[in-house]
Structure 1
Amino acid sequence: MTQKLVIIGNGMAPGRMLEHLLEQAPGRFDVTIFNAEPRVNYDRIMLSPVLSGEKDYEQIIIHGDGWYIRNGITLYKGHRIDAIDRVARTVTSAQGQTAPYDKLVIATGSTPLILPVPGHDLAGVLTYRDLDDVNAMLLAAQSRAKAVVIGGGLLGLEAAAGLQAQGMDVTVVHLMPTLMERQLDPAAGYLLQKAVEARGIKVLTKANTKAILGSNRVEGVALADGTVIPATLVVMAAGIRPNAAVARGAGLATNRGIVVDHGMRTSDPDILALGECVEVNGHVYGLVAPLYEMARVAAEQLAGNDEARFVHSDTPTKLKVTGIDVYSLGDFADGDDREEIVLRDASAGVYKRVILKDNRIIGTVLFGEVADGAWFNDLKRKAADISEMRDTLIFGQARQGTSAPDPTAAVAALPDDAEICGCNGVCKGRITGAITAKGLTSLDDVRAHTKASASCGSCTGLVEQLMALTLGDAYNRAAVQPMCACTDLGHDDVRRLIKARSLKSLAAVMQELEWKTSCGCAKCRPALNYYLVCDWPDEYADDYQSRFVNERVHANIQKDGTFSVVPRMWGGVTSAQELRAIADVVDKFAIPTVKVTGGQRIDMLGVRKEDLPAVWADLGKAGFVSGHAYAKGLRTVKTCVGTDWCRFGTQDSTGLGIRIEKFMWGSWTPAKVKMAVSGCPRNCAEATCKDVGVVCVDSGYEIHFAGAAGLDIKGTEVLGLVKTEDEALEHIVALVQMYREQGRYLERIYKWAKRVGVEEIRRQIMQDGEKRRAYWDRFVFSQKFAQVDPWSERASGKHKHEFHPMARVGFAQAAE
């Protein structure tokens, strides 16, 4: 029986709780939300980038209106709850809306502290807690006048940085001797103040606010020592307190916040609470990680798991101000029962401190270099004995086993005639000379002008050290986005090195490219698997364990743990025999839902995992192969009926679609690929929003590419017009092969095209016939190892690559 769940508050914590609850107990509750703010759920952590202008509101929305509609959730926006009637089991909003509940969740968050000084209620005095506050600050910032932020904690500094980015003259007033004194020790607080001031923000510490000056609106801030700071805007960021008023009014147990047990239950067993409004085991939380853990526990409790418990753990503190790196964790106070290891680099503005007790980390403070924060956190969480690494611990994870903390020291000592790049015979002096003389600032620039690191890539680290040595702070290696935490290399470098060094196995890649983990991760292994099979289709045996579960079992996993199966129907064309086979499978395996997809296929939803091998065996007997509806590969070629039946058709669109699909099926691509062929400009197959599309016209075939119709909506680019069907196939295949060879894993065609350039793609595919034919030839070669019937070939063992991507799968292993 469906129960009524009412939630008071619509912040990040209840939003995350609902996500978990909808996964664990779909349909169990009829959900109603009352939100005091007049909007949907958004990411409050991202308010600082909104204030600074780096993001806008739409970019930080977590759950848009459509999410609530799809999940059948009633959301009352701008409805503050004034009363909870625990006897009648109802809540009533300030607008008079009443809702009954079986279970109630209170997530009212926190309220900002307003210093009770004269003038605190003047116009121009704002707090910094929600989007309305940010919008008000952005409006005030248009004056480009003076602002005072009262409070030098996390929120205060983020507000100050945002207002300064908007052009205001900002002063931070802080009562304590150093900034962020709750999260940082005095040394790091000092460095933080220097960094904030270097951005043009004035900082006054040990400053006690006496009054806010002005008659009708803010004119300034007066301090206890007599200092007066002119201002047209004052932001109160002196702290927060749990918003427990509605719970207290309902007679629930409260202290600093709403008192809850480890299961997020209040003193009323039918009422739960979570987020910044609660107090659990004496703790009140303001950072997102513990709030999300509360959300998980509350969802499990509502789903029926009475054993779910919230367990306290220290959460790292990070400052969200671009260009200032701060990290702190745990207990960093002084004490006789502890010791510390400290590293300072005055010239670089780096400070590192690790606090130890019984040779175990209990606290960490990092400023300037924070990359090892997660490592220190892990050692602390595991209570690891660091005795063996004591001498090098402070240098971080990468320096364990070496006593040389300066990565450029060794290359700095080399003479100018020392060879750096053996492949191209490039010495140190030539590289540093080119950097200086030509103003080179990137690795690609150095490669282009000196050839160093342009071949096998084994000297890349040395070249980068030379760049850092020569350019100093002007060299920003962080411009390359690593493909994952296992490596510092980006996707492009990994692809280049796989080819340059002839790396033909996962083990070879990870060893030769110095992966930071033994086996990679769920992010890099599928990418490496793709790059290897794309570069060495005849030599590399696909590692199906490196593929996502959907790809391993040729089916899409659903939210209830069952799967959907989509057999391929070439060009969307089927027959009575195929339809009967599908119907027989549906009946035999009691598949609950059969649906026609947008790609002109039939989807069978609700297949049990243990039935997948038998389902595919029966479909295979009827001649079906996988539709790859789950794949990073060609999924569908949608068609209209064209000249076969349509009176407007100019070409045989159905025939061309089937030809393309049969020629290219089983090909693996960086991300999913959907195609369409429309028989005339009326475009019934919607070819102009696909990854690749063809619009047939009287004079031939107009080829389109780089469309999108998912999270992003984008019309296609026109590749060009060709006269014959053979030419259309050749150009499409060459285009896809170019994308296969250059696309980054999970990068859709439209994103790849934007990065590479539409004109460059047109040049290579439409104008350079030699390049186009080379792409065609490489695709045809790769298909020799991909386009094999997955069932009969697997059963007969004729193919050496039993688990080659997209075309074959080991069902016995996959079903385990």
Structure 2
Amino acid sequence: MRDGTHIRERLVIVGNGMAGIRTLEEIIKRDPHRYAVTVFGTEPHVNYNRIMLSPVLAGEKTFDEIVINTRDWYEANGVELITSETVTTIDRAAKTVTGQHGTIRSYDKLLLATGSLPFMLPVPGKDLPGVIAFRDLADVETMVAASKTYKHAVVIGGGLLGLEAANGLKLNGMEVTVIHLPETLMERQLDPSAAHLLEQDLIRRGLTVITGANTAELVGTERVTALRLTDGREIPADLVVMAVGIRPNTGLAKEAGLDCGRGIKVNDGLITSDPDIAAIGECVEHDGQVFGLVAPIWDMAKVCADHLTGTTTSAYRPVATATKLKVTGIDMFSAGAFSGGEGCEDIVYRDGARGIYKRLVVKDGCLAGAVLYGDTRDGGWYFQMMKEAAPLGELRDTVIFGQGLQGASSANPSAAVAALSDDAEICGCNGVCKGTIMGAIAEKGLTTLDGVKAHTKASASCGSCTGQVEQLLALALGDEFQADTIKPMCKCTTHDHDTVRRRLVAEGLKSIPAVMQALGWKTPDGCASCRPALNFYLMCAWPDTYKDDAQSRFVNERNHANIQKDGTYSVVPRMWGGVTTANELRAIADVVDKFAIPSVKVTGGQRIDLLGVKKEDLPAVWADLNAAGMVSGHAYGKALRTVKTCVGSDWCRFGTQDSTGMGVKLERLTWGSYHPHKVKLAVSGCPRNCAESTIKDFGVIAVDSGWELYVGGNGGIHLRGTDHLAKVETEAEVLEYCGAFLQLYREEARYLERTAPWVERVGIAYVKDKMIVDADNRAALYDRFLESQKFSQNDPWAEHIAERKIADSYRPMADVEI
């Protein structure tokens, strides 16, 4: 192909995966005008990060977020991308390839990046519908679809891929059993002690694990229904995922007469037995070795690009690699001879309460291997020591405690990465070393983590290296670097609110102790910050089974009264939509006289506040108000406070709709509902907005043709006007939108986060997408809100009245109002 005065050679790449396209990226870096490139891909997609399929299955990422190269990238680099077509024939004499749909392309150079095929156990029933592997996006889509219809999943294989599949299926609501033939999980990456910790953590997360188990057959006729083990046990299985290994995909190469063993045989330049055909990735065999990790493949890509562009005559040499893994939120690391052996010594550290285990293997005075579980911060340091093979010397006494003890203290957290050599690998997922990152920071003026991700791809995949990348930024920029850190819930845990919410649902954790145990709380009972949050999250997740823990509420919520500065309390009974009756007013007046309550005030929310109630009188005050049919206004809790209304069309000459009646209906619907923070509603009968609906969490304004709905307002210190949500015509729609919005807020906001900052954080477009674009989702949210109200629409004060245990409901832990 002619490019101006330059005739380009024709390069065809068979395989649109990570290995082939990484090689193409390296070729473009070296000589962007060398080749006219055609890429064949079997899948219908652009190049994506296969390592990140597990987060897609788990719902933590979307497919768009794991795309490595968009179609724009292919077009910008003049690359012809042919998707959904498998190459079936190579004609080496004519130098052409032919696809399954008849597409023919000529080549001067051919690169085979055909990857690997999943190994499927040759047992009866392996071809039944419902039996799949876990290799590509189509497998993920099959698993997600199955989880919406079926209940029981079995994953065969307790390696990394199998456990990630099991975790993702669990997060999608299935009951999951992991079957593993060896006696310990992940035996290639973990020693028995670390594997035992992993198994116990997985069990606590709701997975069933059976090790030392051999599959005899898969049972079923039209679809798989069970898995039978050789010992006769039968496990229900609507879906079976085989994750028992891979084998190089050599079929095309063999048909073409290339020299193959276990894989396509290549020399040190990644060239096959045909000098015009190269091969790379999981499909190759080099010096008798095949490959299944990304780190060696990134090295292959550089060498292969060197030879295809004639840049250098570099030679591929496999090097020792470290394995840094994250399974179901658990960090693990292994490298070298971590299992020990003859002539080896072990240095072991265990902290059972924190779920941390470290084992270092020393041979001939040097560090020879390491396995870390739960705390992998020093993995890179240990790996560098193994590569250097320097004697430990006096360092042997303290090496198990990590590099922090050697000078990388909290006062100088970047000292650890500063000591690493430029060729030390930082990002294993994308094969990025320290020197590449530091060079990009200096040359391109990068100042943020996102900038490093965009230009080097470090930290752009699993995220386990994010801390080190931020340390490199801090090392390069000094005080100018501002890290975007995720703030933990409190000092008791390293987890943020979003992680805790997601995991307690995914892992079926239904009590505060269960959450603290599974997520590795640092304190035995939590604190005044985390216990109220956990209590709310559990109530929201399991409304039908979780019993509200009164002692994990703030004092005001426990007593349904606001503590005042003089030690007395204020009581606010509920008045539906601000409407009251002579009987209610009489009951309030009687209570004021009976208990000598010194002050009575109408609140901004159109309710009556009784101020100055003595602590010992609270049960009796509420008993008398309850006798008159009045319940708590929750003016003291993280709950619905009031629904403010104007008189609307019944009385006002400007009113267009019955705003008072609408307010009563909304309050009847939502009273007793607990939330991450207080919630206030309002309904105005016309656009004059007398009820101040546009500074409420959910505001309604009546117009001639229906109702305008607004969300995310706040009339406090930081005033925020509402965002327009929708225009509806009927009262029934107002109720549905309100319930759905509050349920979305309940399920996704962080504890003590008002709707205003929550809407600002996620964006009104996100809220609209969840509630308007996806009408089915809105209906489902509303149904969940109604279901939760079955368990919350009662007067929580009744128990206190019956038992008169007001004095016992105080504990110093939470005697503050937030």
Q: Tell me what 2:24 maps to.
A: 18
* Cα-to-partner distance string for 1:392-439 (whole Å, 9 max, x where unaligned): 11111112389xx9x9xxxxxxxxxxxxxxxxxxxxxxxxxxxxxxxx
SS at match of 2:327: coil
Q: Residue 374 in 1 paired to residue 380 in 2?
A: yes
* Cα-to-partner distance string for 1:278-337 (whole Å, 9 max, x where unaligned): 111222111111111111111111111341222212222233324211111122233222
Distance (Å, rounded) in 2 between the aligned partners of 1:103 and 1:210 = 46
Distance (Å, rounded) in 2 between the aligned partners of 1:238 and 1:459 = 44
Q: Tell me what 1:38 maps to.
A: 44
Q: Is the 8 A contact 1:359 1:385 kept in 2?
A: yes
Structure 1 residues 319 and 141: CA distance shift in structure 2, 3 A: farther
Q: Residue 79 in 1 paired to residue 30 in 2?
A: no
Structure 1 residues 369 and 520: CA distance shift in structure 2, 3 A: closer
Q: Residue 89 in 1 paired to residue 95 in 2?
A: yes
- The amino acid that maps onto 2:338 is F
How far has the Cα of 1:521 moved from its partner? 4.5
Q: Tell me what 1:115 maps to.
A: 121
Distance (Å, rounded) in 2 between the aligned partners of 1:280 and 1:756 = 49
Q: Residue 210 in 1 paired to residue 216 in 2?
A: yes
SS at match of 2:330: coil
Q: 1:172 aligns with which of 161, 171, 178?
A: 178
- The amino acid that maps onto 2:392 is I
Distance (Å, rounded) in 2 between the aligned partners of 1:22 and 1:230 = 51
Structure 1 residues 149 and 18: CA distance shift in structure 2, 3 A: same
How far has the Cα of 1:755 moved from its partner? 7.2
- The amino acid that maps onto 2:345 is E
Q: Residue 294 in 1 paired to residue 300 in 2?
A: yes
SS at match of 2:281: coil
Q: Tell me what 1:4 maps to.
A: 10
Q: Tell me what 2:493 maps to.
A: none
Alignment of 1:498-577 (within 5 A): 521=472, 524-526=475-477, 528-529=479-480
Q: Is the 8 A contact 1:392 1:401 kept in 2?
A: no
Structure 1 residues 756 and 85: CA distance shift in structure 2, 3 A: closer
SS at match of 1:211: strand
Q: Residue 385 in 1 paired to residue 336 in 2?
A: no
- The amino acid that maps onto 1:213 is V
Q: Tell me what 2:340 maps to.
A: 334
Q: 2:371 aligns with which of 348, 365, 368?
A: 365
Structure 1 residues 319 and 526: CA distance shift in structure 2, 3 A: closer
SS at match of 1:42: coil
Structure 1 residues 150 and 335: CA distance shift in structure 2, 3 A: same
Q: Tell me what 1:27 maps to.
A: 33
Alignment of 1:764-803 (within 5 A): none
How far has the Cα of 1:144 moved from its partner? 5.1
Q: Is the 8 A contact 1:164 1:201 kept in 2?
A: yes
SS at match of 2:400: helix
How far has the Cα of 1:212 moved from its partner? 0.4
Q: 2:155 aligns with which of 146, 149, 153?
A: 149
Q: Is the 8 A contact 2:37 2:78 kept in 1?
A: yes
Q: Is the 8 A contact 1:152 1:179 kept in 2?
A: yes
- The amino acid that maps onto 1:309 is A
* Cα-to-partner distance string for 1:71-124 (whole Å, 9 max, x where unaligned): 111111011111111111111111111111100000000000000100000000
Q: 2:235 aligns with which of 223, 229, 237?
A: 229
Per the normalisation by structure 2, the TM-score is 0.51
Structure 1 residues 216 and 756: CA distance shift in structure 2, 3 A: closer
Q: Residue 251 in 1 paired to residue 257 in 2?
A: yes
* Cα-to-partner distance string for 1:751-799 (whole Å, 9 max, x where unaligned): 9x977999xxxxxxxxxxxxxxxxxxxxxxxxxxxxxxxxxxxxxxxxx
Distance (Å, rounded) in 2 between the aligned partners of 1:380 and 1:192 = 25
How far has the Cα of 1:21 moved from its partner? 1.0
Identity of aligned residues (%): 49
In structure 2, the gaps of 5 or more residues are 1-6, 414-435, 439-446, 448-466, 483-722, 724-756, 765-818
Distance (Å, rounded) in 2 between the aligned partners of 1:286 and 1:168 = 29
SS at match of 2:353: coil
Distance (Å, rounded) in 2 between the aligned partners of 1:358 and 1:318 = 25
* Cα-to-partner distance string for 1:571-606 (whole Å, 9 max, x where unaligned): xxxxxxxxxxxxxxxxxxxxxxxxxxxxxxxxxxxx
Q: Is the 8 A contact 1:174 1:208 kept in 2?
A: yes
How far has the Cα of 1:186 moved from its partner? 1.1
* Cα-to-partner distance string for 1:491-513 (whole Å, 9 max, x where unaligned): xxxx9xxxxxxxxxxxxxxxxxx
Q: 1:134 aligns with which of 128, 136, 140?
A: 140
Distance (Å, rounded) in 2 between the aligned partners of 1:521 and 1:226 = 55
Per the normalisation by structure 1, the TM-score is 0.51
Q: Is the 8 A contact 1:144 1:169 kept in 2?
A: no
How far has the Cα of 1:253 moved from its partner? 1.1
How far has the Cα of 1:527 moved from its partner? 6.3
In structure 1, the gaps of 5 or more residues are 408-457, 461-483, 487-494, 496-515, 532-716, 718-750, 759-816
- The amino acid that maps onto 1:304 is G
* Cα-to-partner distance string for 1:513-538 (whole Å, 9 max, x where unaligned): xxx99x9845653463589xxxxxxx
For this pair of structures, how many residues does the alignment match?
434
Structure 1 residues 336 and 288: CA distance shift in structure 2, 3 A: same
Q: Residue 269 in 1 paired to residue 279 in 2?
A: no
Distance (Å, rounded) in 1 between the aligned partners of 2:114 and 2:273 = 17
SS at match of 1:262: coil
Distance (Å, rounded) in 2 between the aligned partners of 1:99 and 1:122 = 37
Distance (Å, rounded) in 2 between the aligned partners of 1:317 and 1:345 = 22
Structure 1 residues 756 and 347: CA distance shift in structure 2, 3 A: closer
- The amino acid that maps onto 2:96 is T
Q: Is the 8 A contact 2:263 2:290 kept in 1?
A: yes
Q: Residue 56 in 1 paired to residue 56 in 2?
A: no
How far has the Cα of 1:218 moved from its partner? 0.7
Q: Residue 279 in 1 paired to residue 279 in 2?
A: no
